Chains A and B, each alone.
Chain A
């Protein structure tokens, strides 16, 4: 079996447009949440969202490539560009090797709605234009990035709601571990446009603390009232240790465990047992004990039920161990299909620079979070092993364990 290492990472998120900017936000507990007046006009119950500056790609991509990319594809492209760069992977190397792509994405609302509006008006499908179908498919990110970067290895999208990005990395880990691939671009992307979250808003799952946008996302806090939708793109380069060493590539971490499970119950209500099973599986796969985990990046989205459920799951597995826990969604909001990948990157940054990012807005615990070691402030701490949880609608659970690389 191959060891699987992370040789590159890149990100475009509401708390920073690259790794360095994101590090600053994580370190200082800076929120990327705003109140979007357009959402209120459109009929949203909550106008809160993560804000991302629209990327300018004209000098980076030709017209055809730009026409094919939807919003989340643009974020994923920039994240991948950064990841490939700091992995020292150039186009010449990619052209000579079977580099793959496995990316999490579970929607592409805007291109579909735009196209249908045009077709309804013009009564002619051609007016949707040549890019629409490629922007609309769930696999839009993988089909676009595989084309732009001329990737010739495995190539498909993984859709698993808010665990998509995490499962994509888990699957990439297995493809490399078992020797099917040497190098895979893995990640997650999430659109933030006004069409993308209306039906999620309909479930009254979003925070309505609109007078204090940066305080709205407050995972584990007693007074949390819902999640804040957000998005962006996050890419990690997974590679076999052999390939990384042969290339002389930088190594930012080693994926040592992946666990998964399905709740087998309600479509949106979480369970305690499902996540516990996934976490146990990841620890067993990683061959580490619960007390060896230094940091846990919780899935906690700031919903009353979801956070309480995860808090119980974490207490069940970790009891009184010393792992610090934080949910970076307190700063980023819920990056949904991207979250499982971005949170691996947030945790890698913390591991690299020796700190635990704060779970901002954690002011008062509830009966479940009171039992956890939650970092309400930034903590300087050496991290050797971390766990990252991701759970999604339909009861899909994913847990990844990453370790600092040692020979």
Chain B
């Protein structure tokens, strides 16, 4: 999957599943604040990632993710690993 495709997919579930305003999703913005995520939302985020990108998420993975860009980078890196293993 190309990087642009991954980012589009991520943004799509933020809009569809998390009902985020599309215009608020900019790479440098703080993801947690922009989407008003609480601890329960992270459960749903894990499910969405595992369902869409096929890799297992550990709760501690989220510790270093601040911006949307951090999140894109995290998903892209792990997706590539899955592809390479396939």
Contacts and interface: CB of A to CB of B under 8 A. Distances in A.
- Chain A complexes with chain B: yes
B43 A63 contact: no
Nearest to A62: B19
A63 B47 contact: no
A67 B38 CA distance: 14
A126 B43 contact: yes
B21 interface: no
A63 B18 contact: yes
Interface residues of A, number: 10
Contacts of B83: none
A129 interface: yes
B43 A129 contact: yes
A25 B67 CA distance: 55
A321 interface: no
Interface in A28-82: 62-64, 67
A343 B38 CA distance: 40
B48 to A, nearest CB: 10
Considering residues B40, B41, B46, which has the most beta carbons from chain A within 10 angstroms of its beta carbon? B40
B40 A130 contact: yes
A127 interface: yes
Contacts of B43: 126, 129-130
B44 interface: yes
Interface string A299-310: 000000000000
A282 to B, nearest CB: 43
B47 A64 contact: no
A310 B82 CA distance: 66
B: contact size bracket:
10 to 19
Contacts, number: 23
Interface string A127-142: 1011100000000000
A63 B19 contact: yes
Interface string A303-335: 000000000000000000000000000000000
Interface of B: 18-19, 38, 40-41, 43-44, 46-47, 50-51
Contact of A130 (B19, B44, B50, B51): B44
Interface string A114-131: 000000000010110111
B61 to A, nearest CB: 13
A261 to B, nearest CB: 42
A117 to B, nearest CB: 15
Contact of A129 (B18, B19, B38, B47): B47
A131 B43 CA distance: 9
B47 A127 contact: yes
A126 B40 contact: no
Given A64-B41, A126-B43, A127-B50, 15 more contacts: A63-B18, A63-B19, A64-B38, A64-B40, A67-B44, A126-B46, A126-B47, A126-B50, A127-B47, A129-B43, A129-B44, A129-B47, A130-B40, A130-B44, A131-B40
A233 to B, nearest CB: 24
Contacts of A124: 50
